[in-house]
A = this chain, B = another copy of it.
C-alpha cells in the first residue's frame, strides 16, 4: 500500500530520507531517492510489502538506511498481522526472513533485523519491537555524527577528494558515512572540492551526491566512473573516501560496484583510500571479503537509461551491484567507534 505524496520543495531543502510519522499506529515516510534530483516524492508506507518493495527497487538505499527501513518494516509487518502474544516471535521471524531476502549484500539489513528479533526474545511485545526500530533509527543518526567527527581531520585545506555512489543524508538517518566526514570537515572550516563518480547504472553519484554537496555549498564535479583512475594517475585526486555495505573480519570491504577499481588506482599512485562505515556494517561472522554475497541486479538497469534503451535489442548485460576491496588496499576505516588503521583484523577485534 504505497501512497505517493508530491512535496514541492526548493532544491536544497529535502524531506528527511527516513521518518516515522505518528506513534505506534503511525507510518513510515521514505523519500523516494529514485526520483531525485528532479522530483521530491515521499512514500507513506503502512505495511511491510511497501517497505520491502522500496528496499528492492532502491527507493531507499544505502546500507545504514536500509537497516533502519527494514527495522520499521519488520514492525509494520508484525503490526499488520496482529499475532497472539505467544506467536509474536514466530511471526516476526517470518517477516524478518522476507526482509532479509530483499537485498543480500549490505549486512546492516541483517544486523537490524537480528537486533529486533533479539529484543523480542527478551521482551515479547509489539511495543518493544517499535521501540527497538526507533532506537536503531536514532542511533544511526548519532553514528553518522560520530563518523563525521572521527574522520574530519583526514581532510585538509585544498584537497581534491574522490568519492563514489552516495553515502550522505540520502543513504542514512543522519549526515551519512563518507559524506559525513566531508560535512564535518566543512563545519570545521576546511575548504576542499569533491569529484563524485556518477555511479552507473543508477547514477547515485550524479543524482544524489551532487545534490547533497551542492546543498551543502561544497564544490563538486561529477565524472564517469571510468575516469577516476586516469585522474588519479594525473595527480588530480588527493584522497578517496567511500562507504561500505559489509566489512569482513579482516577488513575486506564490499561497497558499490566500482569501488575496487578506485582502490587499485589509489594504491598504484600512493593516494590514501579511506572507508567510512558504522559499526553495524562489520560482519562478525565473515573471515574474508570473498565470502560476501554480491547482488546481481536486473539487466534492464544497464541496458536502459531513464527508461530509454541504449543497447540493441537482444543484447544482455551483467549488473553486479557491488565489488569487494581487499583490506591491503585500504588506508583507514572511519567508524563511530574510532579510526581503524591496518592491520584491520586486529583493530576490528580490539573494538568488539
Flag if B214 contacts A312 (CB, 8 Å): yes
Q: Which of B222, B311, B324 makes the CB contact (< 8 A) with A230?
A: B324
Q: Which of B224, B311, B315, B318 makes the CB contact (< 8 A) with A302?
A: B224
A192: chain B residues within 8 A (beta carbon)? none
Flag if A222 contacts B37 (CB, 8 Å): no
| A317 contacts the other chain (CB 8 A) | yes
Interface size on A, residues (CB 8 A): 57
| A275 contacts the other chain (CB 8 A) | no
| A227 contacts the other chain (CB 8 A) | yes
CB proximity to B under 8 Å, residues A200-241: 200-201, 203, 206-207, 210-211, 214, 220-231, 233-234
The digit string for A289-326, where 1 denotes a CB below 8 A from any CB of B, is: 00000100000001101101111111111111011100
Flag if B229 contacts A264 (CB, 8 Å): yes
| A7 contacts the other chain (CB 8 A) | no
Flag if B210 contacts A318 (CB, 8 Å): no
Q: Which of B38, B201, B230, B306 makes the CB contact (< 8 A) with A224?
A: B201
Interface of A is mostly: mixed
Given known pairs A11-B312, A200-B200, A221-B316, the reply for A261 and B228 (CB within 8 Å) is yes
Flag if A227 contacts B312 (CB, 8 Å): no
Flag if A233 contacts B323 (CB, 8 Å): yes
Flag if B264 contacts A224 (CB, 8 Å): no
Q: Which of B198, B200, B207 makes the CB contact (< 8 A) with A198?
A: B200
Flag if A223 contacts B302 (CB, 8 Å): yes
A-B contacts, 21 listed (Cβ < 8 Å): A11-B312, A11-B313, A38-B309, A197-B226, A200-B224, A200-B226, A206-B302, A210-B315, A211-B315, A214-B315, A222-B302, A227-B258, A227-B323, A231-B318, A233-B260, A233-B324, A261-B261, A261-B264, A264-B264, A264-B265, A264-B268
